[in-house]
Amino acid sequence: MKSDYTSSIKFDKRLYKQDIQGSIAHVNMLSKQSIIKEKEASQIVNGLMEIKIEIESGDFPWKDELEDIHMNIENRLFIKIGDVAGKLHTARSRNDQIALDLRMYVKDVIKDVFSALKLLRNSFIKISELNSRIILPGYTHLQRAQPVLFSHHMMAYFQMFNRDYQRFLETYKRVDVLPLGSGALAGVPYPIDRQSVAEELGFSSLTVNSMDAVSDRDFLLDFQSAASICMMHISRLSEELIIWNSEEFKFIEISEDYITGSSIMPQKRNPDFLELARGKTGRVYGGLISLLTIMKSLPLTYNRDMQEDKIPFFDTSDTLLSTLYVLADLIVNIKINSKNMILATDQGNILATDIADYLVNKGMPFREAHSIVSKLSSIASSKGKKFSELPLSSYKELSDLFDSDVLEINLEKSISSRDIPGGTSYNQVEESILNAKNLLEDEGYV
């Protein structure tokens, strides 16, 4: 059927609640402004409420040939209340109607994202509090670099997802603008009261240019890009946990709930959920590119291309939300293998920087100290020993500044010494957890 090509009802029926709520607010305003009669308005409102019940109970006769959610509902209203239904669309166009429905929907989704992000950030707090003294190697270039607290590592992710929260909050502010009243593109020739509609629907302000209002999908792009960045964080986290969960690392064990066996190799415990989270990131990036491409050549104002905005958007919001919930639960159920973490930290020369810092504290320029510790490191590795296993004489050969206390440098001291804001010392991390908790407690909902 030809209408299959143009119809969007299969995917935009998800907007039914927003469409009906928006219509009711519009009709109430039309009657308050005496643009239609009170009695007509209440007939329309009652009809719309019945339609909502029909949709929610699965009795609504969806018709593909009626194209979209707006036409399906309006047509049903005609069947229910007759010609007066035709007054609903006074002073309105589908162009400002769809812009409204989408903005209302995005606002609801962002509120769900806030809750999901709160849960996830809370998981990092919980796992950090429960494992506040565990040490593991911190990596650069995936090479063991310096010892850090496991909780410091987890709280790094808290920061990432905290920025995501802030990005969604900014997005929310830009979505929270009422486009209704823009008509098809030029505004409407009726004495409408846009402010009262905004108040009824909970919008903070009104769009200021009718042409921009019906052709703008930046708010969806803001959402898509905030979602893409958030998924990028999720993907990095997933990758890290997959590595830690590997036979080679064995730093953690992912709970059975998020592991699947292989159909052929009985010994396998695959971290499928994390792999899928990493994989779904690609889909979300795809949504961003898709919408950017849809919009890139559109002259003002509304163009039908824009109907295609919903497919990536719905997919992105579903993917993002389900992934956030999975990760939030997965994190708190991780089993930590602290023995292997400390074993990995205690191997090799992870305290090299600390020894260089020791010399610096005794007055040596850092570059010189760096080169001395490099030499010390070669000696240690050629003998297959750790720094702490070398005799003091090996140190003294390289610099007079070494004293016996150099042999006391250990992992705990290394951690404690980084006691500056942002550092991995026990105190600092404890404080950062406390601050994070307060932040979540104070986080108001919009």
- The smaller minimum CB distance to ligand ARG, of residues 76 and 94, is found at 94
Closest CA to 311 of 281, 284, 282: 284
Of the listed 57, 141, 263, 297, which one is catalytic?
Answer: 141
| Contact string (CB under 6 A) for ligand ARG, positions 94-123, x = contact | xx--x-------------------------
Residue with smaller CB distance to ligand ARG, 92 or 278: 92
In angstroms, give the least distance from the CB of 7 to ligand ARG: 9
Residues in binding contact with ligand ARG, number by CB under 6 A: 10
10 Å Cβ neighbour count for 300?
12
Cβ at position 216, least distance to ligand ARG in Å:
13
Whether the CB-CB separation of 33 and 193 falls below 8 Å is answered with: yes
To the nearest whole angstrom, how small is the minimum distance from the Cβ of residue 288 to ligand ARG?
19
Select 98 or 326, whichever has its Cβ closest to ligand ARG. Answer: 98
Q: Which of these ranges, 74-82, 92-100, 195-203, 273-281, lies near ligand ARG under the rule CB under 6 A?
A: 92-100
CB of 12 to ligand ARG, least distance (A): 6
| Site for ligand ARG contains 23 (CB under 6 A) | no
CA distance 8 to 359: 70
Tokens of 237: 């986290």
Residue 114 vs 302, nearer CB to ligand ARG = 302
Token code pair at residue 183: 């008509």
| Residue nearer to ligand ARG on the CB measure, 20 or 98 | 98
DSSP 35-47: SS-HHHHHHHHHH
Residues 6+ away with beta carbon under 8 Å from 116: 320, 321, 324, 325, 328
For residues 296 and 304, which CB has a smaller minimum distance to ligand ARG in the complex? Answer: 304
Minimum CB separation from ligand ARG for residue 101, in Å?
A: 9
Q: Is 128 exposed, middle or buried (0-12, 13-18, 19+ CB in 10 A)?
A: buried
Residue 71 CB, nearest distance to ligand ARG (Å)? 8
Closest approach of Cβ 21 to ligand ARG, in Å? 17
Q: Residue 138, SS3?
A: strand
Whole-number minimum distance, CB 316 to ligand ARG, in Å?
Answer: 16
- Near ligand ARG in 276-335, by CB under 6 A: 302, 304, 306-307
Backbone φ and ψ of 168, nearest 5°: -65, -30
Active site residue 246: no
Render the burial of 71-93: b for 16+ CB within 10 Å, e for the rest: bbbbbbbeebbeebbebbbebbb
Burial class (CB in 10 A: 0-12, 13-18, 19+), 259: middle
| Helix, strand, or coil (residue 21) | helix
Residues 280 and 232: their CA atoms lie apart, in Å, by 10
CA atoms of 145 and 125, how far apart (whole Å): 24
Backbone dihedral angles phi then psi of residue 137, each to the nearest 5 degrees: -70, 135
Instruction: Given the residues 3, 42, 204, 262, select the one marked as catalytic.
Output: 262
* H or E segment and range at residue 140: strand 135-140
Closer CB to ligand ARG, residue 231 or residue 306? Answer: 306
Task: Give 8 or 43: the residue with its C-beta nearer to ligand ARG.
Answer: 8
Establish whether 414 is a catalytic residue: no
**What part of residues 46-75 is at the interface with ligand ARG (CB under 6 A)?**
68
Nearest to 370, CA basis, from 385, 379, 386, 359: 359
Q: How far is CA 358 from the centre of its chain?
A: 42
Report yes or no: 404 and 349 within 8 Å, Cβ to Cβ: no
Collapsing DSSP to helix, strand or coil, 146 comes out as: strand
Q: Name residue, tokens 């039309």.
A: 30
Which residue numbers are catalytic? 141, 262
Q: Which residues bind ligand ARG (CB under 6 A)?
A: 8, 12, 68, 94-95, 98, 302, 304, 306-307
